[in-house]
């Protein structure tokens, strides 16, 4: 059985990916310092899959701890999926050093540990944020990256470059970056999902918290953009679909099917939805009407972006499958479970 190190494996996308990996027959070791997640997620992963993943709690930006980990597990790990990172765009503007220190050092420590202990495969959690506001839609992997809008976004660009340069030199190591569009939803079991700390920044957690009565109303940030209904457009990807893309990527690397030792893929649905369309889909899916008001634009927002997923479809043989209403219903069921709503 191949064993996969999943950093950030108790986080939103990480936990769903651990479930999919275990269901596909992989062994998993999670490393997470629980800075933005809870240990009970490990229990819930076990409840879903019947298998308890191994779990270690330490800080991946601590070089000594990371090298020690790789030495202790020498010969045991076949691949790494690296999710662990700080991810709040706005916060990163105010705490740039914390973001660079955590997100960039963690990656470098992991690459060093991989090199010294002979771990050959890395899947990296990247983002469509590397494209900024693209000149042409949909975005393909050939679309040029643009200067990042925030330190958080820049850590994704810089980390892609570090992996590219490292793999260029270390031919025995394979890197594969997945550029996620907007991950949303929750596991259909309602046992794992997204748990933002404080007031949510992202649209779907804000919607589900509003529907649950925790927030008075959703503020829609601008309806005067150059889009059909004036609200911004995103490509919302179901978290379980997204997790399955990681399993496919791991399989590709372990079977040596990669075409070069650094590859990157867009992971989205290929379909753009406006904020208002998403709000309407939520109502259709759940029957819950959502109070909202239109307010001013949010600084730094992209107007519209969605993926061309041809490369992921053809090369990885992966495609998004869960309909948006089902995804939103899963998100709502998770929120209800968290709040004890029947």
Choose the binding region for ligand UDP from 35-43, 98-106, 171-179, 213-221 (rule: CB under 6 A). Answer: 213-221
Cβ of 23: how many Cβ atoms within 10 Å?
Answer: 15
Calpha distance 216→210 (Å, rounded): 6
DSSP 8-state symbol, 140: P
In the region spanning residues 156 to 195, those forming contacts with ligand UDP, defined by CB under 6 A, are 182
Burial of 299 (0-12, 13-18, 19+ CB in 10 A): exposed
Of these, 14, 232, 270, 272, which contacts ligand UDP (CB under 6 A)?
Answer: 232
Of these, 23, 62, 301, 315, which contacts ligand UDP (CB under 6 A)?
Answer: 301
Q: Residues in contact with ligand UDP, total (CB under 6 A)?
A: 14
Residue nearest to ligand UDP (CB): 232
Closest approach, Cβ 315 to ligand UDP, in A, equals 25
Q: Please say which residue, 58 or 221, places its beta carbon nearer to ligand UDP.
A: 221
Calpha distance 10→32 (Å, rounded): 7
Of these, 219, 258, 280, 326, which contacts ligand UDP (CB under 6 A)?
Answer: 219
Closest approach, Cβ 65 to ligand UDP, in A, equals 31
Of these, 203, 237, 240, 320, which contacts ligand UDP (CB under 6 A)?
Answer: 203
Q: Please say which residue, 53 or 183, places its beta carbon nearer to ligand UDP.
A: 183
Choose the binding region for ligand UDP from 43-51, 70-78, 136-144, 219-227 (rule: CB under 6 A). Answer: 219-227
Tokens of 292: 């909202």
The counts of H helices and E strands in the chain are 11, 13
Of these, 275, 285, 320, 328, which contacts ligand UDP (CB under 6 A)?
Answer: 275
Q: Please say which residue, 26 or 206, places its beta carbon nearer to ligand UDP.
A: 206
Calpha distance 246→132 (Å, rounded): 23
Calpha distance 130→23 (Å, rounded): 31
The per-residue DSSP string of 58-116 comes to --TT-HHHHHHHHHHTTTT--EEEE------HHHHHH-HHHHHHHHHHHHHHHHHHHHH
Q: Please say which residue, 37 or 208, places its beta carbon nearer to ligand UDP.
A: 208
State the catalytic residue, choosing from 26, 99, 131, 152: 152
What is the CA angle 208-204-233, rounded to 5? Answer: 145
**Spatial contact of 249 and 316, defined as CB atoms under 8 Å apart:** yes
Active site residue 152: yes
Closest approach, Cβ 300 to ligand UDP, in A, equals 8
Name the site residues for ligand UDP (rule: CB under 6 A): 182, 201-203, 206, 218-221, 232, 234, 275, 298, 301
Just list the catalytic residues.
152
């Amino acid at each position: 059985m191949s064993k996969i190190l999943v950093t950030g494996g108790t986080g939103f996308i990480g936990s769903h990916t651990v479930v999919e990996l275990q269901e596909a027959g992989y062994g998993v070791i999670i490393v997470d310092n629980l800075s933005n997640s809870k240990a009970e997620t490990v229990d819930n992963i076990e409840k879903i899959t019947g298998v308890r993943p191994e779990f270690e709690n330490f800080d991946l930006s601590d070089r000594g701890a990371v090298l020690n980990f790789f030495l202790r597990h020498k010969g045991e790990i076949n691949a790494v999926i690296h999710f662990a990172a700080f991810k709040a765009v706005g916060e990163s503007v105010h705490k740039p050093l914390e973001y660079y220190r955590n997100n960039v050092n963690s990656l470098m420590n992991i690459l060093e540990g991989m090199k010294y202990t002979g771990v050959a495969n890395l899947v990296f959690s990247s983002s469509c944020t590397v494209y900024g506001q693209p000149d042409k839609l949909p975005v393909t992997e050939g679309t040029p990256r643009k200067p990042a809008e925030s330190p958080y976004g820049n850590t994704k660009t810089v980390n892609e470059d570090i992996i590219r340069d490292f793999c260029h030199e270390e031919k025995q190591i394979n890197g594969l970056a997945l550029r996620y569009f907007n991950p949303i939803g929750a596991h259909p079991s309602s046992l794992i999902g997204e748990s933002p700390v404080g007031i949510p920044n992202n649209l779907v957690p804000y919607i589900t918290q509003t529907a649950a009565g925790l927030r008075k109303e959703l503020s829609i940030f601008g309806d005067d953009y150059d889009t059909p209904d004036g609200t911004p457009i995103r490509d919302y990807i179901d978290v379980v679909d997204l997790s399955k893309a990681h399993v496919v990527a791991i399989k590709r690397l372990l079977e040596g099917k990669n075409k070069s030792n650094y590859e990157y893929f867009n992971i989205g649905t290929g379909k753009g939805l406006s904020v208002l369309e998403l709000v309407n889909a939520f109502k259709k899916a759940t029957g819950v009407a959502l109070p909202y008001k239109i307010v001013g634009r949010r600084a730094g927002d992209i107007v519209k972006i969605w993926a061309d997923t041809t490369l992921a479809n053809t090369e990885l043989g992966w495609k998004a499958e869960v309909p948006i209403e089902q995804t939103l219903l899963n998100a709502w069921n998770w929120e209800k479970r968290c709040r004890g709503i029947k």
